Amino acid sequence: MLWPAGTSHKWSPVLRVLSIHWLLNVFLEGERIVALATTSPPNSSPEQCRFLSKLYNAEILENQPGRHKLTKVTSNCEKDGRPYEYIIAQGSMEFEVDPIVGELFVEGPLDREKRSLHFVIVNVTTNIDNSTDAVRPTRQTNPVIEHTKSKLEPWQTLVAIHVLDENDNEPQFVKLNSEGIYVFSVDWQAPLLTPIARVHAEDADGRVPLIYSISESTVASADHFMLNQTSGVIALSKSLVNDRSDFHEFEVVVSDGVHNVTTPVRIYRLAPESNIVLLSADIPQQDIEDWSVERKMSDLTNEDVRILVKQAYVNEDGQVNPQRTHLFVYALDKNTHIPVGRDRLKTILEQSRSTLDGDLPKLAITLPAVDSTGRVSLAELLLIVICVILLLIACCMLFYLAKYCKRKATERFTGEYMVDSHSAGPRPYDVEQIDRKTAQSVLSSRPLPDPYEPNKTYE
């Protein structure tokens, strides 16, 4: 492109950007010399690939087999038609991304109980490796921690995969004893509505609400107790003062709406006649630390010893001595949580009396007196029932024996009529073959003889 000599023109911005060759007019000593200068525009690097969003969210139901699409990531290079490639920089091996389309897939089922949230970091790059032996970049084993350490680069995006819960697990009761059941204890004088214990179940599915109830087949055995449906707390609903059972056993059911799980519950009654021992010591009750005494007795006896009641000493006349203390204690087996019998507990404590004198001076170990007035034990009640049954059987036997003897006596009386009358004249009938009643009927049917006798004259 040439211009007249002595003229000058400015390059337009568009021309400067688009032109590849520039022409310059050069004049030297009146001769026109045309020079062609070839130049290139300044080097400008292409815009870096960036993701349109720094966060993508995806959801999938747990335990879904096969290959499933989660979401699609998009970069500016994809929209502009420039070469690009998507690769996974961090994430579990269950996830795959299409390097061209940008669709993220999961290969195989995910278990929400193991992991409920997965993070995948996807990179977009312009360094495309077309070799078939390209190795996938090594992923970091803990993407959550690594992600919190550093911010994402412009060519990175985060995909959060939320694994949705499926009610595929049964709830499980926890804190059972060594036998796999619940065992609790309650004071025989506990007031109504006293919380006794709590049954608790856990569900790996997490958010599913659990409902507790007493099994319909054992409702009659649980008439002294009530169960909170949501918290699982067992409370006393009927007094145990006049109850003579050592324990009550029933079944508790927990339901998550799909699965029902049952476990036995056994509640022992703490009473003086069964599992309580009375301790007396020359020390005011306010000077006794319950936790210290319980721990020491538990270590010595290898049982879980607990203080049920602590009160001032009361003698046989009902007089109170504040310088002495009465302790009503009981013990639970550490494995089964079953209360230890009072006789066995008394024997165990007596073997450790000398060691306990430091905390409980002049310790006396006795069995509490049991007032059985108006109360009948189960064995006594069973014995009474057996005696009543035997008495009824004896009465029935005597009644039938008397009736039998009476019938035999009547038959013998009618059969022996006139059998032995040898001197009373001729027999009107055979009394050995014909009974008295038949003979009387036959004889009464005969006409009576005429009693009139004519007067005879004797010459």
Confidence of residue 327 (pLDDT cuts 50, 70, 90): very high
In this structure, are 290 and 246 located in the same domain?
Answer: no
Residue 312 lies in a domain: yes
Q: Please indicate, yes or no, whether residues 102 and 176 belong to a single structural domain of this protein.
A: no
Sheet of 320-332: strand order equals 304-314, 320-332, 277-281, 364-366
Please state the rounded mean pLDDT for residues 160-187. Answer: 89
Mark whether 76 and 102 lie in a shared domain: yes
In eight-state DSSP terms, residue 144 is: H
Q: Specify whether 91 is located in the same domain as 152.
A: yes
* Same domain membership, residue 126 and residue 200: no
Let me know whether 262 and 298 are in one domain.
Answer: no
Q: Phi and psi for 104 in degrees, rounded to 5?
A: -100, 130
The CB density around residue 230, as the number of other CB atoms within 10 Å, is 9
Report how far residue 326's alpha carbon sits from residue 282's, in angstroms, rounded to the nearest whole number: 9
Range 128-135 average pLDDT: 47
CB atoms within 10 A of CB 269: 21
* Of residues 377 and 388, more confidently modeled: 388
Classify burial at 344, counting beta carbons within 10 Å of its beta carbon; exposed 0-12, middle 13-18, buried 19 or more: middle
One domain for residues 249 and 283: no
Last residue of a domain, one of 119, 139, 164: 164
> Per the structure, how many domains does the chain have?
3
Q: Are residues 154 and 59 in the same domain?
A: yes
113, 177: one domain: no
- Please choose, from the candidates 125, 106, 129, the residue with its C-alpha nearest in 3D space to the C-alpha of residue 50: 125
Tell me, yes or no, whether 147 lies in a domain. yes
- Residue count (the chain): 459
Q: Are residues 311 and 248 in the same domain?
A: no
* Domain end marker among 220, 238, 270: 270
Domain boundary among 316, 335, 366: 366
399-435: per-residue pLDDT in tens?
988 888 887 776 665 555 555 544 444 555 565 667 6
CATH number at residue 360: 3.30.70.380
What does the pLDDT read at residue 307?
A: 93
Which of the four pLDDT bands, split at 50, 70 and 90, describes residue 309?
very high
User: Could you report the per-residue pLDDT of 268-308, keeping only the tens digit for each?
Assistant: 999 999 999 999 999 999 999 999 999 999 999 999 999 99
Alpha carbons 216 and 176: distance in angstroms, whole number: 22
Residue 248, beta-bridge partner list: 267
Place 91 in a pLDDT band, splitting at 50, 70 and 90: confident
- Between CA 312 and CA 284 the distance in angstroms is 7
Q: Phi then psi for 148, rounded to 5 degrees?
A: -75, -20
The answer to whether residue 412 is domain-embedded is no
Task: Give phi and psi for 18, each to the nearest 5.
Answer: -90, -25
Instruction: Enumerate the β-bridge partners of residue 339.
Output: 332
Domain of 203, in residue numbers: 172-270
- CATH number (domain holding residue 80): 2.60.40.60
Answer yes or no: do 63 and 151 share one domain.
yes
Token pair for 162: 């939320």
- Judged against a pLDDT cut of 60, whether residue 233 lies above it is answered with yes
d(CA 434, CA 441): 11
Residues 143 and 80 in one domain: yes
Contact 269, 243 (CB under 8 A): yes
Token pair recorded at residue 250:
């029933």
Distance from first CA to last CA of the chain, Å, rounded?
218
Return the DSSP state at 282. Answer: S
What distance separates the 2 farthest-apart alpha carbons in the chain?
237
Residue 409 forms part of a structural domain? no
In this prediction, residue 213 has a pLDDT band, given cuts at 50, 70 and 90, of: very high
